[in-house]
Structure 1
């Protein structure tokens, strides 16, 4: 089946059809369909095939996604549902790698943050995606909407644990705590960001850091939210109370803590050691350079694509691999 398409010429008022291409190329509509759909088993000369393709390009042919989905029974769209978090460096890297890996298999990755307002429809009700992958568990309401929309594959299914590659991200706070303790720090703090949208993730990382600190015989790190207006007082409180190691939510938070400590006359890392998370570009560029947890965004993205394709019947499940590692730099 050849889809009708929108002509891309500015000001065009109708769709370009297979008949348009056939008339201009001097061939039948069926021939156009065979060429554009790359139908196997046809005896079409290379000269005719080239003439059809050149004419399609001249007229601005673009596949019509809705018609293609109707013909194939699949939109070949993979929808990734993201929490309402700021799009950080690691997330961008992961999504770019996943998108490229899925493109190689003829699929398109679309990212989506569910709307906050009831008047807006979630994107899975509009796109008819082949699969939907959630970075956090779906709510009951979302699960009902997914089922009602006829989505063929949901990862994770309601009630199932998150895919392994997402669970692996929880390793970061453990590496941060172990690094500081290994450097001799016994009193720790957790520096949370002031961004309200990442509160739940920051709280999760703080809990994980506390669990590992207790396992190592320490008191749980004190949790402090760093904002521009209070960071100087917070750093002073740390120094006065004997806190010498800081587990930061991310590299931006770590940079804020380190910069404030230096302006207050403290030595880093002698008086205050700080470790960030994500290994974003600022970590290596900051002075002093920031110790951090490196997330292999490209490996995460490829793994995301792999488990999605496996769930769709496209091959074996990818082998699990470690995606987090510690990078020790000047700040600790």
Structure 2
């Protein structure tokens, strides 16, 4: 029977040092881009060439031990599904965090219990946790993370959480802004889209609650309607729209709003004459829709300011405040 091939040994920093003809300390200075240590361009080039030739990759765990902390920033993976505006902003944030020397890790686990989530995050020993769904955090989850050595905890949330640096973002205010506009336009039977895609209900439900709070002060009804981000789902919803009897809809964000609006038009339901449609995020393509899409604009703080705040939390334990997110209605032809 043939012997199993043994796995090749991983290259070490000592191997790189020998090949480049330098000390291990110099290899560390070059590969970690350590500030305050002068290394000639020729030496730097030799080290990088040797590391590439050997396929050397620094050991993150060992580097964390030397530095006294991890360089990982953990973010829940569901942020990639919240829409183009936030996804593009997260891309910028990742770049800004890299500027500070951090590696961003998306955590794919989904947990009903915030404490269970915190324990799973703590296992990775990140330097920081940044949550766009901060309303799920509690003082207990913050304590679990703190005891695990997590130095920076930053969250977008509707209310402050002990132990967490909070940036104000109340999703209920988004639904409230859209609903007030629809009521001002004379709509009394308002639908609120709840995306059926996994993970989005944690943002959609507070937006629905905000719509319901505004409607409760008027002779207006609010009806949640489920919609998947597919042409088939939008067509099915549009075909039963008149049975629902709704004359306005807040469709979670611009992408769902455009999808539903085109399905309604395809079924012969005029927008805005019969149904007023409002989205959220005020994407560039919203103004190019026909009719142009009314949207709730969200002015996100700069990715640089959030990265700077998170770095300050890790380095010093305190950080300057970051302006919260306030929704603003952008009125166009769809309503």
Return the TM-score normalized by structure 1: 0.75
Contact persistence 2:16–2:56 (CA under 8 A): no
Mark the CA change 1:69 to 1:285 in structure 2 (over 3 Å): closer, same or farther.
same
Mark the CA change 1:48 to 1:274 in structure 2 (over 3 Å): closer, same or farther.
closer
Question: Which position in structure 2 is the counterpart of 1:325?
Answer: 328
Q: Offset of 1:131 from its aligned partner?
A: 1.3
Superimposed CA distance per residue, residues 266-298 of structure 1 (whole angstroms, 9 cap, x where no aligned partner): 32112211111233566345433322223345x
Mark the CA change 1:290 to 1:59 in structure 2 (over 3 Å): closer, same or farther.
same
- Trace 1:139-218 onto structure 2 (pairs within 5 A): 146=145, 149-155=148-154, 159-160=161-162, 164-195=166-197, 197-215=199-217, 217-218=218-219
- Distance in 2, matches of 1:184 and 1:273, equals 10
Give the length in aligned residue pairs: 317
CA RMSD of aligned residues (A): 4.0
- Distance in 1, matches of 2:37 and 2:270, equals 75
Question: Which position in structure 2 is the counterpart of 1:13?
Answer: 8
Question: Which position in structure 1 is the counterpart of 2:3?
Answer: none
Q: Which runs of 5+ in 1 are unaligned?
A: 1-10
- Distance in 1, matches of 2:268 and 2:214, equals 31
Question: Which position in structure 1 is the counterpart of 2:85?
Answer: 90
Mark the CA change 1:268 to 1:163 in structure 2 (over 3 Å): closer, same or farther.
farther
Question: Which position in structure 1 is the counterpart of 2:126?
Answer: 129
Question: Which position in structure 2 is the counterpart of 1:236?
Answer: 242
- Distance in 2, matches of 1:111 and 1:97, equals 15
Mark the CA change 1:117 to 1:176 in structure 2 (over 3 Å): closer, same or farther.
closer
Question: Which position in structure 2 is the counterpart of 1:225?
Answer: 226
Contact persistence 1:235–1:257 (CA under 8 A): no
Q: Which moves more between the two structures, 267-276 or 256-265?
A: 256-265
Mark the CA change 1:196 to 1:322 in structure 2 (over 3 Å): closer, same or farther.
closer
- Distance in 2, matches of 1:161 and 1:170, equals 23
Q: Offset of 1:72 from its aligned partner?
A: 0.3
Contact persistence 2:172–2:211 (CA under 8 A): no
Task: Choose the corresponding residue for 1:289, options 285, 289, 292.
Answer: 292
Task: Choose the corresponding residue for 1:108, options 103, 107, 128.
Answer: 103
- Distance in 2, matches of 1:282 and 1:73, equals 46
Question: What is the SS of the residue equivalent to 1:312?
Answer: helix
Return the TM-score normalized by structure 2: 0.74
Contact persistence 2:254–2:295 (CA under 8 A): yes
- Distance in 2, matches of 1:279 and 1:307, equals 26
Question: What is the SS of the residue equivalent to 2:291?
Answer: coil
Contact persistence 2:190–2:223 (CA under 8 A): yes
Q: Offset of 1:211 from its aligned partner?
A: 1.6
**Higher Rg:** 1
Contact persistence 1:250–1:276 (CA under 8 A): yes
- Distance in 2, matches of 1:52 and 1:256, equals 53
Q: Offset of 1:69 from its aligned partner?
A: 0.5
Question: Which position in structure 2 is the counterpart of 1:81?
Answer: 76
Q: Offset of 1:186 from its aligned partner?
A: 4.2
- Distance in 2, matches of 1:30 and 1:224, equals 61
Q: Which runs of 5+ in 2 are unaligned?
A: 1-5
Q: Offset of 1:147 from its aligned partner?
A: 5.3
Contact persistence 2:81–2:87 (CA under 8 A): no
